[in-house]
Amino acid sequence: MLRVSSLSLALLLTFSAAGCDAEESLLGEFVGRTSVGAETRAVEGEAVYTVFETPAGPEFVLGLFVGDLFESDTDEYDYVLFRRVGGRPGVGAYPVTADPDHAVGATIARVDEAEDPLESVGALLTGTDGTLGLTRIDDYGFIAGTYAFTAEGIRLMPRGGRVSGEARGTFEARYVPPSTFRRLGL
Q: What is the pLDDT of residues 85-110, one digit of tens each?
A: 999 999 999 999 987 677 899 999 88
**Confidence bin at 128 (pLDDT 50/70/90):** very high
Which tops the pLDDT comparison, 4 or 49? 49
Q: Nearest 10 degrees: CA dihedral of 85, 89, 92, 96? A: 20
- Round to whole Å and give the CA distance between 124 and 88: 25
Q: What is the pLDDT averaged over residues 77-87?
A: 91
**Confidence bin at 23 (pLDDT 50/70/90):** very low
Question: Residue range 166-178: average pLDDT?
Answer: 95
pLDDT range class, residue 139, cuts 50, 70, 90: confident
User: In whole angstroms, what is the distance from residue 2 CA to residue 161 CA?
Assistant: 34
Residues 76-82, mean pLDDT to the nearest whole number? 88
CA distance 181 to 51: 10
3-state secondary structure of 182: helix
Please compute, for residue 31, the number of CA atoms within 13 A of its CA located in the half-sphere on the CB side. 7
CA trace torsion 17, 19, 24, 30 (10° rounding): 170
What average pLDDT does range 122-137 have in this prediction?
Answer: 93
Residues 6 or more apart in contact with residue 178 via CB below 8 angstroms: 50, 51, 52, 53
Say yes or no to pLDDT of 47 above 70. Answer: yes
Indicate if the pLDDT at residue 11 is higher than 50: no
The answer on pLDDT for 180 being more than 90 is no
